[in-house]
Structure formats: C-alpha cells, structure tokens
Amino acid sequence: MKFLYFFTLILTTSIFSQTFYHSPISDSDDDYHICSDWSLDIPSGTWGISFGNSQNFNGFRFNYRDCDAGTVNGFNFTMWDAYSVTNSEVNGVSFGLIPHASRLRGLNLGLGAVIADEEMLGLNFGLFAAVSEGKMYGLNVGGLALVSSGKIKGINLGGLALVSQSGITGMNFGGLALVSEGDIKGINFGGLATVSQGKIYGLNLSLLALVSEGNIKGINFGGLALVSQSGITGMNFGGLALVSEGDIKGINFGGLAIVAGGESLYGLSFTLGQIKTETVKGISISGYKTEAYEFTGANITIAWTEFYNMTGFSFAGYNRVRSHQTGLTIGLVNYAKNLNGIQLGIINIADNNSGWTRVLPFVNAHF
C-alpha cells in the first residue's frame, strides 16, 4: 500500500506542481533578478491605480511580472510568474496567467496556474493547476491538479489529481486520484484511487481502489478493492476484495473476498468468494468458504465452513468445527470435535459421542 501511495504522490506532484512551480531566485546568473519598484501610480504611490512593480499598494495594480510586491489590497493583475515573492501578500482579487505570492486571500484566478508559497484562502482557481506550499482553504479548483503541502479544506476539485501532504477535508474530488499523507474527511471521490496515509472518514468513493493506512469509516466504496491497515467501519463495499489488518464492522461486501487479518469481522458480511478472519460476530454469507477461529452468529456458505469454535448457526455443504460447536449446523457433511448442539445432514460426525453415535446419518446431537 505504501508503494501505491508514494507512486501516486510522486506521479501527480511531479507532473503538475513541478510544471508550474519553481524557485524564482536561484544561484545561477541566468535566473538571478534584482527587483525594481518602478511604477506609475495615480494619484498616490500607495493607493489608487498602479502600473508596474509597485510595493505595498491599495487599489488596482497592473504588472507584467511581480517581484517582492509586499502587500497588495484590492485588485492585482500579473501577466507571468513572479520573480520573487518574499513575504508578499494579495488580499482581494488576484488575476493573470500565473498569479503567485506568499499569501493569496480572496478571489484568485490563474489562466495557467495560481501559486501560493504559504497559504491560499478563498475562491482559488487555476485553469491547469492550483498549488500551495502551505494550507489551501475555500473553494479550490485545479483544472488538472490541486496540490498543497498543507491542509486542503472546503470544496476541492482537481481535474486529474487532488494531492495534500497534510490532510483533505470537505467535498473532495480528484478525477483520477485523491491522495493525502494526512486524513481525508468529508465527501471524497477519487476517480481511480483514493489513498491516505492517515484516516478516511465520510462518504468515500473510488472506482478502482480506496486505500488507507488508518481507519476507514462511513459509506465506503472501492470499485475493485477497499483496503485498510487499521480498520474499516460502516457500509463497506469492495468490488473484488474488502481487506483490513484491523477490524471490519458494519455492512460489508467484498466481491471475491473479505479478509480481516488477525482481527474481527462484525455485522452483516457478504462475499461470493471467501471470508477469512480471526473472529466473526454477526451474519456472514459466502459462496466458497467462511473461515474463522471464533464464530458467533449465523453463517450461510454454499461450499465449506471451517471454524475452531462455533456458537450459533451454520449452513454449508461441509461444516467443520475443529474444537467446540454450540448450536446448530446443517449441511451435507457436518463435523465437530466437541458437539454441544445438533447436526443435520447426510453424514454427521461428533467426536465426543461414543460408539455408533459418533457417526450418524440425518441427525446427530450431544448436550
């Protein structure tokens, strides 16, 4: 799962954020630029209308390429990516091909991309990408990618990818992938994959895989697989498989398999293939096999069940209880090492019965 996470993260960030973000000041002579504060300002150098690289301006400001503009309050138009954005801030409307500042607050529109080195707050739209080195809050849209090193909160859309290194909260949509190193919370859709190194909470949908290193809670749908290293709780659907290293709780569907490695399965669980876990408590329905160390509840399996201890009811072609059965089994063949209940089937074997009562047709019992 870590491979899937890092592959998706590297792919999306390398294609999109590196495409639009670069350090405007470098050690090379070609890239080094000394900022000029020349501007034509009407009627004042601090407010009104400004043409050029004015510093700390209030009003309408138009510039080809910003360079350490300071604080701009009002409307700021910039044609190209900034040379340098040291401690720069735009409060109001940022518009241009690539608006770029330390902090963007308000309405931020980039015909190519919109970039913030520290934070981006408000209505943020980059035709190709919206990128923040810090947090990104509000209505956030990146035509191809929405990428943040900090948290992303609000209504968030990345046409191809939505990526955060800290966490994603709100109504979140990544056309191909929704990826976070932190928690993902809210209404979350990753077209092909939703991947988190933290927790995933809410209404979570991915057409291929929904993967988390933390808990997955809510209404959870992975078209092919739903995978957690910690636990899955809620209404859970994995088209081919539902897999967790922790507990799985709720209404659980795994097309071919439900696996809770070394932990427990609670609730109503259904698969056409196999259920395999340490403990099952609830109602389990499987096509091929249900296998557990401890089973409590009701089970229906077309082919084969294998329990170490069973309490409740099991219907299967072959019921095998390797230690203690308390309750009723119905099948073609039923076996229990220690029976405390009833077996109904063609062949019924109770090892704790003696003599001819150990193997009986149709009915066997021990109390």
Quick: pLDDT tens for 311-320.
Answer: 999 999 999 9
Q: Residue for token digits 């190209």?
A: 80
| Residue 316 counted as domain residue | no
Query: What is the model's pLDDT at position 18?
Result: 38
Mean pLDDT of 278-293: 96
| Residue 335 counted as domain residue | no
| Residue 103 counted as domain residue | yes
| Residue 47 counted as domain residue | yes
pTM score:
0.81
Look at residue 11 and tell me whether its pLDDT is greater than 70.
no
Q: How confident is the model at residue 5 (pLDDT cuts 50, 70, 90)?
A: very low
Query: What is the model's pLDDT at position 34?
Result: 72
Question: Could you give the CA distance from residue 345 to residue 47 in angstroms, rounded to a whole number?
Answer: 91
Taking phi first (over 0 means left), then psi (-120 to 50 degrees means alpha), and beta for anything else, what does residue 177 get?
beta
Sign of CA dihedral 269, 273, 277, 283: positive
Mean pLDDT taken over the chain: 90
Q: How confident is the model at residue 262 (pLDDT cuts 50, 70, 90)?
A: low
Look at residue 46 and tell me whether its pLDDT is greater than 50.
yes
Give how many domains the chain has, as a whole number.
Answer: 1
Q: Taking a C-beta distance cutoff of 8 angstroms, is the pair 206, 224 a contact?
A: no
| Residue 209 counted as domain residue | no
| Residue 144 counted as domain residue | yes
Look at residue 29 and tell me whether its pLDDT is greater than 80.
no
pLDDT > 90: what percent of the chain?
Answer: 85
More confident residue, 262 or 301: 301
Neighbours of 185 (CB within 10 A): 22
- Which range (21-30, 115-124, 161-170) has the least confidence? 21-30
Structural domain including 124 reads 1-21+38-173
Question: Could you give the CA distance from residue 103 to residue 340 in angstroms, rounded to a whole number?
Answer: 71
| Residue 192 counted as domain residue | no
| Residue 263 counted as domain residue | no
